[in-house]
């Protein structure tokens, strides 16, 4: 049976770890927190790469406009043009959304790593076989 959504916290559950979000379509209730953390970190890296690509596009756009003698940029040095492009990109809604997504994924990865540590710390000791 699939389990997705927020898991209800156990009665004595540590509020730092509960409730936990389970992705839709997830088929195993015994979650592998390490894999979840890795997936979240990959997604955060993808968001960061998109953010950097957007900055590169904005920088190219500003440099092209300056090369065409746009009155807003014609007296700026190359360094000033790059700083202007960076400010324009940082203030855009797309850059803000990508930054929020990256931070959200990093927060989730930290949560999943904490859950893995908690699971390891509370696991019963292995039984030695003779």
Residue 25 lies in a domain: no
pLDDT for 33: 78
Number of structural domains (the chain) is 1
pTM as predicted:
0.69
Q: Number of helices (H) and strands (E) in the chain: give both, helices first.
A: 3, 2
Spatial CA neighbour of 86 closest among 55, 110, 126, 45? 55
Where the chain has pLDDT below 50, the residues are 1-2
Residue 72: domain span: 31-117
Residue 19 lies in a domain: no
């Amino acid at each position: 049976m699939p389990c997705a959504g927020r898991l209800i916290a156990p009665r004595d559950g540590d509020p730092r770890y509960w409730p936990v979000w389970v992705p839709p379509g997830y088929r195993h209730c015994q979650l592998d927190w390490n894999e979840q953390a890795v997936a979240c970190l990959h997604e955060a890296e993808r968001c960061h790469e998109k953010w950097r690509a957007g900055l590169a596009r904005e920088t190219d756009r500003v440099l092209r406009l300056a090369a065409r003698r746009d009155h807003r940029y014609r007296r700026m040095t190359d360094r000033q043009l790059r700083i202007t492009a960076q400010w324009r990109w940082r203030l855009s809604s797309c850059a803000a959304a990508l930054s929020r997504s990256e931070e959200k994924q990093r927060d989730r990865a930290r949560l999943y790593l904490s859950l893995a540590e908690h699971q390891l710390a509370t696991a019963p000791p292995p039984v030695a076989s003779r």
